[in-house]
């Protein structure tokens, strides 16, 4: 998909009006602090509780404005200019759809649930593209407005992994029914439940089919992420200058495979630690037979709870690793036509350690450290990026502003920019 876009851009896209000039480097800077953001965050939390969550669109706007206002690009802050009305409309629409789906699911209306899921799959590309139009259109820098100019045909073409994913799991369900026909043919009610409980829990062919389904699902998710990010960059415009994109699909595959490897290593390490602690506990109380029964119950309970917690903890390094690697890949390989490019120096290990420290402090403070954690992570990522721009910033910005005046892009973004996500 991205190759087609690149070919089209090179063949028919407008050539940059900028001649080669000296390249100036501008490290990005974040001027906010955890203490400042804590005051914004605590007000959002309290008002969210008092309004039963209906303050969410106002909270999201206040949060976005804080981070934008303190994000300095070449000495000038970003601006978040989204209309509160559109964010409220999107939030209300999302709430209504969620309530309607839950009512249908709780009342056993299988047909309605299926229709909801089908509509969700069909509308997912529309929702994503609308949100991107809204959010890029609400982002300004030095009077310049970002625009997302992808056509609906391009959006739905890039969204083919969504429909492939649905087909994969339809095939898995039918395959499982074929491998266990007794389950598929069992009548509803008590008799059917007895048939299902009497069957073997699992078979090797069923496991192989599920494994294949999970592998194909992962490939679809990776492809969808690649398609959406490439489309977002290539069809994002600053003034009349389009975005530039270098990564290929295999770059994303490598990051995901490395992420899976990090998760496996983390899970094995956590499992070994849990086993060692449990073994030590049993050895410590082995001679106290009169208390062994009660202690065994306590150990089993703690092991279950601790196992769940450690599993979540084991996923944290993998998630942080993937986030850092993807951030590096994106911001070291994107730019604005021939005008500017970005370079990223984010350290993966440093970011993973920061995420683990923030998670621990957030747990110890019962969530009160969360705003400080968010600011520290955002700062590390944002300040790892350097903007390389041809010529003086004032000159380039002035040219781009003149190019954008009177354009149709703003009007189209406003007309199609309903943020259904909120």
Residue showing tokens 């690149």: 6
Residues 158-173: pLDDT tens digits? 999 988 988 888 888 8
Give the CA distances from residue 23 to residues 119, 240, 336, 388, in Å, rounded to whole numbers and listed in that order: 48, 20, 14, 6
pLDDT surpassing 80 at residue 134 = yes
Name residue 24's beta-bridge partners.
389
pLDDT surpassing 80 at residue 288 = no
- Buried b / exposed e over 236-264, threshold 16 CB at 10 Å, is bbbbbbbbbbbbebebbeebbeebeebbe
pLDDT at 22: 74
Distance of alpha carbon 43 from alpha carbon 50, whole angstroms: 11
pLDDT surpassing 70 at residue 128 = yes
- Kindly indicate the confidence band of residue 16, based on its pLDDT and cuts at 50, 70 and 90: very low
pLDDT surpassing 50 at residue 9 = no
Choose between 16 and 212: higher pLDDT: 212
pLDDT surpassing 60 at residue 6 = no
State the pTM of this model: 0.78
Q: What is the mean pLDDT of the chain?
A: 79
- Kindly indicate the confidence band of residue 302, based on its pLDDT and cuts at 50, 70 and 90: low
Q: How many other C-beta atoms can be found within 10 angstroms of the C-beta atom of residue 272? A: 10
pLDDT surpassing 50 at residue 190 = no
Distance of alpha carbon 211 from alpha carbon 219, whole angstroms: 12
SS3 399: helix
pLDDT at 285: 56
pLDDT surpassing 80 at residue 419 = no
pLDDT at 158: 95
Domain boundaries, the chain: 250-318
Residues 375-387: pLDDT tens digits? 999 999 999 999 9
Tell me what percent of the residues of the chain surpass a pLDDT of 90.
Answer: 40
- Kindly indicate the confidence band of residue 18, based on its pLDDT and cuts at 50, 70 and 90: very low
- Kindly indicate the confidence band of residue 368, based on its pLDDT and cuts at 50, 70 and 90: very high
Choose between 53 and 120: higher pLDDT: 53
């Amino acid at each position: 998909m991205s190759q087609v876009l690149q070919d089209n851009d090179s063949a028919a896209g407008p050539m940059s009006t900028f001649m080669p000039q000296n390249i100036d480097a501008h490290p990005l800077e974040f001027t906010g602090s955890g203490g400042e953001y804590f005051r914004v965050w605590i007000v959002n939390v309290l008002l969210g509780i008092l309004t039963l969550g209906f303050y969410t669109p106002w909270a999201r706007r206040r949060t976005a404005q804080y981070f934008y206002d303190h994000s300095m690009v070449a000495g000038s802050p970003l601006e978040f200019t989204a209309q509160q009305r559109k964010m409220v409309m999107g939030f209300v629409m999302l709430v209504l759809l969620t309530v309607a789906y839950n009512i249908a699911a709780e009342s056993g209306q299988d047909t309605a649930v299926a229709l909801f899921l089908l509509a969700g799959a069909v509308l997912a590309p529309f929702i994503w593209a609308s949100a991107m139009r809204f959010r890029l259109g609400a982002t300004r820098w030095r009077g310049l407005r970002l625009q997302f100019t992808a056509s609906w045909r391009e959006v739905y073409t890039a969204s083919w992994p969504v429909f492939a994913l649905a087909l994969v799991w339809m095939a898995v369900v039918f395959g499982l029914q074929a491998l266990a026909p007794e389950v598929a043919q069992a009548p509803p009610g008590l008799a059917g439940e007895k048939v299902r409980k009497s069957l073997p829990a699992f078979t090797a062919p069923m496991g192989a089919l599920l494994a294949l389904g999970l592998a194909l699902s992962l490939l679809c998710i990776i492809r969808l992420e690649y398609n959406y990010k490439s489309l977002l960059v290539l069809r994002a415009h600053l003034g009349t200058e389009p975005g530039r994109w270098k990564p290929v699909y295999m770059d994303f595959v490598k990051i995901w495979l490395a992420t899976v490897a990090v998760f496996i290593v983390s899970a094995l390490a956590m499992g070994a630690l849990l086993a060692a602690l449990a073994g030590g506990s049993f050895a410590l109380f082995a001679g106290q037979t009169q208390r062994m029964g009660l202690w065994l119950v306590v150990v089993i309970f703690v092991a279950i709870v601790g196992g769940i917690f450690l599993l979540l903890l084991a996923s944290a390094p993998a998630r942080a690793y993937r986030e850092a690697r993807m951030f590096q890949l994106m911001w070291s390989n994107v730019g604005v036509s021939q005008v500017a490019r970005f370079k990223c120096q984010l350290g993966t290990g440093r970011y993973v350690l920061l995420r683990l420290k923030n998670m621990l402090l957030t747990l110890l403070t019962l969530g009160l450290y969360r705003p400080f954690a968010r600011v520290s992570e955002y700062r590390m990522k944002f300040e790892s990026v350097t903007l390389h721009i041809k010529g003086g910033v004032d000159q380039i910005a002035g040219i781009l502003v003149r190019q954008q005046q009177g354009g149709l892009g703003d009007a189209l973004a406003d007309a199609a920019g309903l943020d259904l996500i909120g």
